[in-house]
Structure 1
Amino acid sequence: MVKYPGGALLPTLHFDRTSRTPISAQLCSALREMILSGELPPGERLPSSRTLAKDHAVSRTTAISVYEQLAAEGLIRSSIGAGAYVAETLRDGRPVAPPESRPDEIRSPPRLAQLSADASEHYFPRLAHPENPRPFITGIPAFDEFPMALWASMVTRYWRQPRNLLLGYPPPEGLMELRRAVAMHLRANRGITCEPEQVFIFNGAQDAFNRIGNTLLDPGDTVWIENPGAIGARNSLISSGAKLVPLSIDEEGINVAEGLEVAPDFRLAFVTPAHQHPLGVTMSLQRRFELLRAAERAGAWIIEDDYVGEFHYAGHPPPTLKSVDTSGRVIYVGSFSKTLFAALRLGYVVAPPELVDIFYRIAGATLQGSAASLQSVVANFIECGHFSSHIRRMRRVYAERLQALLDGAEKHLGGMLEVAPTETGFHTVGRLAPDFDELAVARRAAERNVLVSPISRFAITPVSQRGLILGFSSAPPRMIASAAETLALTLKEMRKEQAKGRLTA
């Protein structure tokens, strides 16, 4: 930096007069960066406010305000008659930027807490959700069928209330109006008898799994987990330091006998009874009782993830595990991300009576609460009957989309992919013919904008089941039919390539 008696020249000091950001803020930010980067070293004399204003065609008031702000931050020292200088205290106190690393240089990773370091090595990558839903992604509701106009009117009505009701902190355990509405809905539609005080609102089901794990598990505690199973919940339990024991899935659900043989002293079990994720099995009533008895004997807890239990397409839905739990071992978790829309990030937990007090203490000490506006609108949506109407309507929509998938599979995929019918949920399973590799099929289908997930992606340890997970909820029937045809073309091409390779060999 060239020095002059009147202060340093600042040729690199620039700002944008067309920006909405005030010029004073831009100048202050630019000078701050020059000082912290070392371009203006400690002790460097700055131009006077009059000179700064003249050189950069700004008002002297603006220049003075910039120097006052930097002085308040301790970056410069300034006094009348003596001028402005970069603070000498920065000579030893300024953070030193890390040296630029060479491409071939290996830098050590940041130090993490031991629990986080151990957990991060075992996380499973979650599925990416594209901005525009398309076949055959999983876990996404039908955005195109959501009643946007009704929702917008209810949001507008909420914001017309008095400010003192709108702008304060929400209770960490959730608004009582929503907790009451959830309890009412579960009692009428899911067979769960609970009090509003047992309902706790979280920022989505994933947040609930994190809190439950952190509350009930010590590092090394044994957890029964479905295999294959839900990736998000699995990662949450890994974060708590749990020792996961993967249990196989048969036609009745999680293999309780296997769990009792390999880990009878389990602390927690995680299950998806209504529609096992990802195989789609509905847990039998007999298997539910076996699981409840095992938990009671072990003094263990059970997390029931009822993520799509609302959507049953044939006859009466099976009871929730919570509704047949007489010993208070089941922690029920639900989510509005599937029943309404994903951006809500609202989930809820029905705590057993024995855990209600501790959940209140944990919420009061560590939770900030979900957005009151969203909670209030959802509560009103339920109380006015719109939620039940929406669920009934979406059952019809998803049943039509499931049928489109089954019809497309029958027409195009015979002999290559056997798509199983399902009575619940957002997806079903396609069983591949033996000559196909599920990972290779998923990669080739993605090249044609068709997203399928191999079963093995959800497995902790290798499983006998092979095939693809096919979501049908997010796309209309015509897109599903087209995607089934595209998938069939992909499989036919792969089969031809395999035959050609065998002939060449």
Structure 2
Amino acid sequence: MKKQQGALLTSIKIDRSARKKIGVQLYMGLRDIILTGGLMAGDRLPATRTLAKEIQVSRTTVIDAIDRLVAEGLLESRVGAGTYVSEILENQRPVTPNVDTAQFTETRPRLAHNLTHATETYAPRSWLPHTTGAFVTALPALDAFPMAHWARLSARHLRGSRDDIMGYGQPKGLLQLRNAIATHLNASRGIRCHSEQIFITAGAQQAFSLIGSVLLNAGDQVWYENPGAAGARNAFLSRGAQMVPINVDKDGLIVSQGVQKSPHFRLAFVTPSHQQPLGHVMSLARRLELLDAANTAQAMIVEDDYDGDFYFGGQPHPPLKSIDTQSRVIYVGTFSKTLFPSLRLGFMLVPDGLIDTFDHLFASWISTAPTSVQSIVADFMDEGHFATHIRMMRRLYSARYDAMIDASKHMPDSFTLGETKSGFHTMGYLNKNADEQNLVRAAGENGVIVAPLNRYCLTPIAQKGLVLGFGSSTPEQINAGMKTLAKLVRHKI
């Protein structure tokens, strides 16, 4: 079958009621597109028959307009090849004058109050990693992902029914994937749940935003770990929430401080399985205390279990959701850490009392992740590849953490490597006189990527430190990175 080629020019509008002839309108429309950069030098125009059909004019009218532009030198015809925008035009196109944006200051659209307020307090997310290496955070071991299995499942899916591949899909997410997630949470994380409680989202960030839209009004108080994860914080700020920073100790969020600061809180956000970024595991006593505080205040808790599957320190503590007897916890998970970030795939597990609300929300206007991605992940889980991958990653991250412990021998006494039993990042604690920002900058200039602890803080804390990822770093990179950091810390950069 012969391929139709050439630019789409359907922006040209013909007014048949105008006094100006149709041929002139077409000529001027094409000329404007060329001169304003809509078509660049060397771009091909569609065939005259195709253009006539698209604009709904006669082919003779199209030929006359193109011949006129060829005569003016704006187009050139190539025998047997078609009509192209003239190469001569490249250096002769009229320059668009610079516009003084100041004159438009008074006419800028008025922004929503919540957004205007939120942008002033957003935590920056521009530092999310794009390349692997020491000591990049938030990136799993991409080099160990079973790409061959993934490619096979992808190819099989694309050979399936076009309705399944190309349709809109189920509003709250593919049932097969929701069943697979429910099975995994029951078996691996000890959470008793069913597929109707699970909603598939385009990453954990969308889940946090949706939770905020359902539960928060402007001015509502949210307990937030300090230091804590940036993404959910930004989502709640966008809803006009008042963030209440609650300090964290070795047992997790200090609930008594939260009760003292904000007894009538509406929402609490926690990372109990592996506190972000300090790495502590919330104790059972503290978990029960948090559940009791939420029940007293009639508040909800968002549990972000972003890397809880990667516990390598013996028997893990159960998720907060698994001991929630009052339906106070919304559990959020992500495949960005268990598989890879570009999937943009997450999920939330909501209490039965909120299913109807979220069902209505998803059926009304929420777009979730592509059906094809959901289907491939569902097959990946159902065929056992996911469980195998999790087991392998636990061993790998444990080995890479051991390599970090071994490499820390290069560090001076003013540096203390934090302990972790889960995930793929840990803390490097510095003395109180250290300059985090300069150290981060100097490390970056030497090819080592680290994040300062203060980046995660709502309000300043006394502790200084660096967040060190080891998931995407080989033992050799970890050792070399520690040597580089050691030199910088010794020189008090």
Give 2:400's aligned residue: 401
Distance apart, 1:442 and its partner CA: 1.1
Distance apart, 1:57 and its partner CA: 4.1
Give 1:431's aligned residue: 429
1:472 corresponds, among 457, 470, 473, to 470
Give 1:225's aligned residue: 224
Distance apart, 1:17 and its partner CA: 7.7
Give 1:448's aligned residue: 446
CA–CA separation in structure 2 for the residues paired with 1:407 and 1:234: 35
Give 1:273's aligned residue: 272
Give 2:374's aligned residue: 375
Give 1:295's aligned residue: 294
Give 1:417's aligned residue: 415
**Does structure 2 conserve the Cα–Cα contact (< 8 Å) formed by 1:137 and 1:474?**
yes
Give 2:147's aligned residue: 148
Distance 1:161 1:404, change over 3 A: same
Give 2:261's aligned residue: 262
Give 1:460's aligned residue: 458
The answer as to 2:357 corresponding to 1:358 is yes
Q: Where does 1:70-109 land on structure 2 (aligned, <5 Å)?
A: 100-101=99-100, 107=105
Q: Where does 1:164-179 land on structure 2 (aligned, <5 Å)?
A: 164-179=163-178
Q: Which amino acid aligns with 1:440?
A: N
Give 1:312's aligned residue: 311
Say which SS state the counterpart of residue 135 (structure 1) adopts: coil
Give 2:210's aligned residue: 211
Say which SS state the counterpart of residue 318 (structure 2) adopts: coil
The answer as to 2:405 corresponding to 1:388 is no
Distance 1:334 1:20, change over 3 A: farther
CA–CA separation in structure 2 for the residues paired with 1:340 and 1:136: 19
Say which SS state the counterpart of residue 302 (structure 2) adopts: strand
Distance 1:21 1:194, change over 3 A: farther
Q: Which amino acid aligns with 2:68?
A: T
Q: Where does 1:1-80 land on structure 2 (aligned, <5 Å)?
A: 19=43, 22=46, 50-55=67-72, 56-58=75-77
Q: Matched residues, percent identical?
A: 44
Q: Which amino acid aligns with 2:354?
A: L
Residue deviations 1:136-186, cap 9 Å, x none? 111110111111111001100111112222211111200000000000000
The answer as to 2:135 corresponding to 1:136 is yes
Give 1:120's aligned residue: 119
Distance 1:157 1:414, change over 3 A: same
CA–CA separation in structure 2 for the residues paired with 1:226 and 1:374: 32
Distance apart, 1:99 and its partner CA: 6.7
CA–CA separation in structure 2 for the residues paired with 1:132 and 1:214: 33
Say which SS state the counterpart of residue 157 (structure 1) adopts: helix
Give 2:20's aligned residue: none
Say which SS state the counterpart of residue 225 (structure 2) adopts: strand
Per the normalisation by structure 1, the TM-score is 0.81
Distance apart, 1:132 and its partner CA: 1.9
Distance apart, 1:366 and its partner CA: 1.7
Say which SS state the counterpart of residue 302 (structure 1) adopts: strand
**Does structure 2 conserve the Cα–Cα contact (< 8 Å) formed by 1:171 and 1:369?**
no
What 5-or-longer segments of structure 2 have no aligned partner? 1-23, 53-63, 86-95
The answer as to 2:213 corresponding to 1:196 is no
**Does structure 2 conserve the Cα–Cα contact (< 8 Å) formed by 1:166 and 1:373?**
yes
Residue deviations 1:363-414, cap 9 Å, x none? 111212211111011111111111000000000111111111111112x103
Per the normalisation by structure 2, the TM-score is 0.83
Distance apart, 1:449 and its partner CA: 1.4
Q: Where does 1:325-340 land on structure 2 (aligned, <5 Å)?
A: 325-340=324-339
**Does structure 1 conserve the Cα–Cα contact (< 8 Å) formed by 2:221 and 2:264?**
yes
CA–CA separation in structure 1 for the residues paired with 2:256 and 2:40: 70
Distance apart, 1:187 and its partner CA: 0.2
Distance apart, 1:416 and its partner CA: 3.0
Distance 1:105 1:341, change over 3 A: same
Give 1:481's aligned residue: 479
Count of equivalent residues: 439
CA–CA separation in structure 1 for the residues paired with 2:42 and 2:103: 42
Distance 1:48 1:198, change over 3 A: closer
The answer as to 2:483 corresponding to 1:492 is no
**Does structure 2 conserve the Cα–Cα contact (< 8 Å) formed by 1:17 and 1:23?**
no
Say which SS state the counterpart of residue 292 (structure 2) adopts: helix
Q: Which amino acid aligns with 1:159?
A: L
Say which SS state the counterpart of residue 349 (structure 1) adopts: strand
CA–CA separation in structure 1 for the residues paired with 2:197 and 2:31: 64
- Of the structure 1 ranges 391-400 and 413-422, higher mean CA displacement relative to structure 2 is found in 413-422
Residue deviations 1:211-268, cap 9 Å, x none? 0001111111111000010001100000111011000001111011011111111110
CA–CA separation in structure 1 for the residues paired with 2:269 and 2:432: 31
- Of the structure 1 ranges 332-341 and 13-22, higher mean CA displacement relative to structure 2 is found in 13-22
The answer as to 2:294 corresponding to 1:282 is no
Distance 1:269 1:19, change over 3 A: same
Distance apart, 1:446 and its partner CA: 1.2
CA–CA separation in structure 1 for the residues paired with 2:329 and 2:97: 51
What 5-or-longer segments of structure 1 have no aligned partner? 1-5, 29-46, 67-96, 496-505
Distance apart, 1:10 and its partner CA: 6.9
Spell out structure 1 runs of 4+ moving beyond 3 A: 6-25, 47-50, 52-59, 104-110
Say which SS state the counterpart of residue 136 (structure 2) adopts: coil
CA RMSD across the alignment? 3.0
**Does structure 1 conserve the Cα–Cα contact (< 8 Å) formed by 2:274 and 2:308?**
yes
Distance 1:483 1:363, change over 3 A: same
CA–CA separation in structure 2 for the residues paired with 1:466 and 1:406: 19
Distance 1:16 1:206, change over 3 A: closer
CA–CA separation in structure 2 for the residues paired with 1:244 and 1:16: 50
Distance 1:279 1:57, change over 3 A: closer
